[in-house]
Amino acid sequence: MKNSTTKQLLASCVAIIAIAISQNANAQNAAQNANDKKAQELVSKMTREEKLQMLMGYFSTTAEWLKSTAPKNGMPNSAGYIEGISRLGIPAQSQTDAGVGVATQRSPNPRGRSALPSGIALAATFNDEIAFKGGAMIGSEARLSGFNVMLAGGANLLREPRNGRNFEYTGEDPLLAGNIAGNAIKGIQSNHVISTLKHYALNDQETNRFTIDVKIDEQAARQSDLLAFEIANEIGNPGSVMCSYNRVNGDYACENDWLLNQVLKKEWGYKGYVMSDWGATHSTIPAANRGLDQQSGYPFDKSPYFAGALDEAVNNNHVSEARLDDMVYRIIYAMSENGLFENPLNGDQSDKIDYAANGKITQAAAEEGIVLLKNERNLLPIAKNVKNIIIIGGHADKGVLSGGGSSQVYPVGGMAVPNEGPSEFPGPMVFYPSSPMKELQKLTKAQITYYDGKDLSKAAELAKKADLAIVFGNQWTGESVDVTNLNLQNNADALIDKVASNNANTIVVLQTGGPIIMPWLDKVGAVLEAWYPGSSGGAAIARVLSGEVNPSGALPASFVQSVDQLPRPKLGGDEVGIAVNNPSQLKGRVSVDYNIEGAAVGYKWLDKTNQKPLFPFGYGLSYSNFEMSNLMVKANQSKVSVSFSVKNTSKIDGKAIAQIYAAPINGGWEAPKRLVGYKKLLVNKSQKQNAMIEINPKTLAVYDTNLHKWVIKGGLYDISLSKSSAQPVQTIRVKLDDIILN
Ligand code: BGC
């Protein structure tokens, strides 16, 4: 009796869930149909002139060097503006950079806003929810600042650790990068603000970015960079995709039929619009026919290709009327899908921004993204009996570092350190006024003093007298220039070496755009990678140092021992021997061969070539100790799930990142293994937790270039529960069937 009641109950639960799922799907379809209808109707009512108006974006900044005058209704010193069509109730598109918050173009009076930690720091949280919340926060500031399009969602893979924009992106692994970028996009768009996904695609270095031709085979591209975009697109459903500056296999990314028409629009079924990066449109007819829907940021381009010239191209039937309508349709569809019609902007409402509340969100993200790389003798958290601490270098008395270029968010309350870094783009070097030193002073009774570290002998003297020395090592990076080496800047490597030689209790706090090398590693007691920690970064760093926060970040990119371990020890396409961004210095058009590593990016390359990095992908310590066990794998066609448990064997609560790697025992992938899942778990002291992860089937598949489908190859696979890419804890061998994914 009891049994049959339970069965009945179960059956009705299943039925209710099925109804809920189908209702959800019905609601989604209805919404899609409504957006589709609205877009079709509006397009049908538009004149040619109105259509063309939707397709041309203007730089919304008056800049002498570019001879640009900001459109009169655009938000000043912002990235772009496209006037609305009031006759039809179509709102203007007001565009702001970028991924960590509301940026300002170079100007004497930049708007101050909250800044998230850098994209790579968000990825280091291994926490999709944090990415969503961060996106939601910056999206809300965008709306209140008068913007309904945010040029965020950077998902280029960290293929080149010297890339000056790694800080804007989400690491070297397609699953992690796609999940984090996708969730951030979803968060931004929860404010009725369109987000981009950018820079599509393979824009993995800045050197010669405007012209470089990236050579890569289709399968390698699909299983690496394009997979990150595919996942981010599925999760985030961005209203727009920004095509990049570089060329891919010969054609510019913004007139690349394969990238835009075949992969993005046809295969992924993308319904939004493609906008060009600022200065990335090079033609009218090829660009329009090969998939570009909107030209951006004029006059960055040589010509207003999508204005009069497009009109003429349509008149002459070089671009069909249907394609013109499709371009406009896509923009209106995305605007409708994201609620831009029902939620009009109301100019600058920034006085309504709750900076205190937003500060907590960015601080929580920074705290989860800080990675503890080394902790000898439990030097951290700082012991209660430490009497005096010397903090050296990096302006840690004043603030924290951020990355430069168009994504630059300026702080509320002004810059903590004026006149640093280059005066020209991608400068200035901006420090947010969140001082690690002052924040640490609030959390410890120790006496704390600061020295700028300029004189190494003086630094050594001061270090000798202190119980603890904390050295801040910075690497500032910015858009348009790659770094020439992986060393810290401002003589910080020598400074750390000197301090550590004089005090064994030396802790290094790094603020870097991406991976660096650490020639001093053996000498120091502890290392924290804080990336660019955002506008509340000082508090985040201090709380990790003091133990208020238990570190829980992990590396979203491998830290190599030296550039010799990379697929390209010398930067690809660097024909003139320096990281240049000036096409006039080039003797010809250059290319870079990404087929060397293909899809084996980062840890995959290191695994494949049997090299041991300085710190592996996925690595990060905690003040707690975790035991992972009980791995079980269930495979039913393409649905593969794993379950396991994590026990906190220490006396402090902490967060663990369980990572799942898969390896086909007979090979056939780009590298021995891939990350196929991860989960961040809060496990209280002495507690044990069970968890489950559903594997994204594409991470188990290879891309079949004949079928144009993802295919799981039947056979045996080792599935490992791991603490990092180099620390498997338990492995199970499973058999997977041959499956073609939809
Ligand atoms: C960058 C984009 C940015 C655009 C607008 C370009 O230089 O590559 O990421 O969104 O400028 O500022």
- List the chain domain ranges: 41-343, 364-546, 626-740
At position 464, the amino acid (one-letter code) is K
Mean pLDDT across 312-328? 98
How close is the Cα of 274 to the center of ligand 1, in Å? 14
Beta strands in 570-704 (DSSP E): 591-593, 626-636, 639-648, 654-664, 674-683, 688-694, 702-704
Task: Look at residue 463 and tell me whether its pLDDT is greater than 60.
Answer: yes
Which mutation among 200, 406, 407, 409 tests ligand 1's pocket best, with the greatest number of atoms within 8 A of CB? 406
How close is the Cα of 277 to the center of ligand 1, in Å? 6
Per DSSP, the three-state class of 27 is helix
Nearest ligand 1 atom to alpha carbon 80: 5
Query: Which residues, including other chains, have CB under 8 Å from residue 739's CB and lie 6 or more apart?
Result: 637, 638, 697, 701, 711, 712, 714
pLDDT value, residue 26:
84
Q: At what angle do helices 128-144 and 174-189 cross, to 10 degrees?
A: 40
Nearest ligand 1 atom to alpha carbon 244: 8
CB 310 within 8 Å of CB 284: yes
Mean pLDDT across 502-528? 98
Per-residue pLDDT reduced to its tens digit, 135-169: 999 999 999 999 999 999 999 999 999 999 999 99
Place 589 in a pLDDT band, splitting at 50, 70 and 90. Answer: confident
How close is the Cα of 165 to the center of ligand 1, in Å? 11
Instruction: Assess whether the C-beta atom of 98 lies below 6 angstroms from ligand 1.
Output: yes
Q: Rounded to whole angstroms, how far apart are CA atoms 366 and 186?
A: 19
Domain 364-546 -> CATH class: alpha beta
Mean pLDDT across 477-497? 96
pLDDT value, residue 574:
78
Paired with 469 in beta bridges are: 390, 506
Task: For residue 588, count other CB atoms closer than 10 A to its CB.
Answer: 7
Mean pLDDT across 481-496? 96
Nearest CA to ligand 1 atom 4: 278
Nearest CA to ligand 1 atom 2: 277
Nearest ligand 1 atom to alpha carbon 199: 9
Q: Rounded to whole angstroms, how far apart are CA atoms 139 and 660?
A: 32
Place 2 in a pLDDT band, splitting at 50, 70 and 90. Answer: very low
pLDDT value, residue 25:
77
pLDDT value, residue 24:
76
Instruction: Flag the least confident range among 66-70, 258-262, 282-286, 574-578.
Output: 574-578
Query: Which residues, including other chains, have CB under 8 Å from residue 610's CB and lie 6 or more apart?
Result: none
Which mutation among 479, 480, 481, 482 tests ligand 1's pocket best, with the greatest number of atoms within 8 A of CB? 479
Instruction: Assess whether the C-beta atom of 280 lies below 6 angstroms from ligand 1.
Output: no
Instruction: Assess whether the C-beta atom of 406 lies below 6 angstroms from ligand 1.
Output: yes
How close is the Cα of 185 to the center of ligand 1, in Å? 17
Instruction: Assess whether the C-beta atom of 277 lies below 6 angstroms from ligand 1.
Output: yes
Place 127 in a pLDDT band, splitting at 50, 70 and 90. Answer: very high
Mean pLDDT across 728-736? 98
Which mutation among 75, 81, 82, 97 tests ligand 1's pocket best, with the greatest number of atoms within 8 A of CB? 97
Q: Rounded to whole angstroms, how far apart are CA atoms 155 and 145?
A: 25
pLDDT value, residue 8:
62
pTM of the model: 0.96
Task: Look at residue 278 and tell me whether its pLDDT is greater than 50.
Answer: yes
Instruction: Assess whether the C-beta atom of 97 lies below 6 angstroms from ligand 1.
Output: yes
How close is the Cα of 423 to the center of ligand 1, in Å? 19
Place 400 in a pLDDT band, splitting at 50, 70 and 90. Answer: very high
Which mutation among 82, 151, 208 tests ligand 1's pocket best, with the greatest number of atoms within 8 A of CB? 151
Nearest CA to ligand 1 atom 5: 79
Sheet with 728-736, edge to edge strand ranges: 674-683, 654-664, 715-722, 728-736
Per DSSP, the three-state class of 313 is helix
At position 739, the amino acid (one-letter code) is I
Task: Look at residue 10 and tell me whether its pLDDT is greater than 70.
Answer: no
Instruction: Assess whether the C-beta atom of 607 lies below 6 angstroms from ligand 1.
Output: no
Instruction: Assess whether the C-beta atom of 301 lies below 6 angstroms from ligand 1.
Output: no
At position 121, the amino acid (one-letter code) is A
How close is the Cα of 405 to the center of ligand 1, in Å? 8
How close is the Cα of 732 to the center of ligand 1, in Å? 45
How close is the Cα of 629 to the center of ligand 1, in Å? 45
How close is the Cα of 406 to the center of ligand 1, in Å? 6
Greater confidence (586 vs 238) lies with: 238
Nearest ligand 1 atom to alpha carbon 168: 9
Mean pLDDT across 548-563? 98
Per-residue pLDDT reduced to its tens digit, 692-729: 999 999 999 999 999 999 999 999 999 999 999 999 99
How close is the Cα of 300 to the center of ligand 1, in Å? 10
* CATH number given to 626-740: 2.60.40.10
Percentage of residues of the chain with pLDDT beyond 90: 92
Instruction: Assess whether the C-beta atom of 79 lies below 6 angstroms from ligand 1.
Output: yes
Paired with 85 in beta bridges are: 90
Nearest ligand 1 atom to alpha carbon 198: 9
Half-sphere exposure of 590 (CA within 13 A, CB side): 23
Domain 41-343 -> CATH class: alpha beta
Instruction: Assess whether the C-beta atom of 103 lies below 6 angstroms from ligand 1.
Output: no
Instruction: Flag the least confident range among 405-419, 436-450, 573-587, 694-708.
Output: 573-587
Task: For residue 428, count other CB atoms closer than 10 A to its CB.
Answer: 21
Mean pLDDT across 558-586? 79
Instruction: Assess whether the C-beta atom of 151 lies below 6 angstroms from ligand 1.
Output: yes
Q: How far is CA 240 from CA 44, 147, 194, 324, 647, in A?
A: 22, 15, 7, 17, 43
Instruction: Assess whether the C-beta atom of 278 lies below 6 angstroms from ligand 1.
Output: yes
pLDDT value, residue 588:
64
Which mutation among 165, 278, 300, 301 tests ligand 1's pocket best, with the greatest number of atoms within 8 A of CB? 278
Instruction: Assess whether the C-beta atom of 253 lies below 6 angstroms from ligand 1.
Output: no
Nearest CA to ligand 1 atom 3: 406
Nearest ligand 1 atom to alpha carbon 103: 12
How close is the Cα of 622 to the center of ligand 1, in Å? 37
Q: How far is CA 620 from CA 270, 552, 603, 605, 729, in A?
A: 36, 7, 15, 20, 15
Mean pLDDT across 207-229? 96
Nearest CA to ligand 1 atom 7: 278
pLDDT value, residue 141:
98
Percentage of residues of the chain with pLDDT beyond 70: 95
Task: Look at residue 584 and tell me whether its pLDDT is greater than 80.
Answer: no
pLDDT value, residue 1:
40
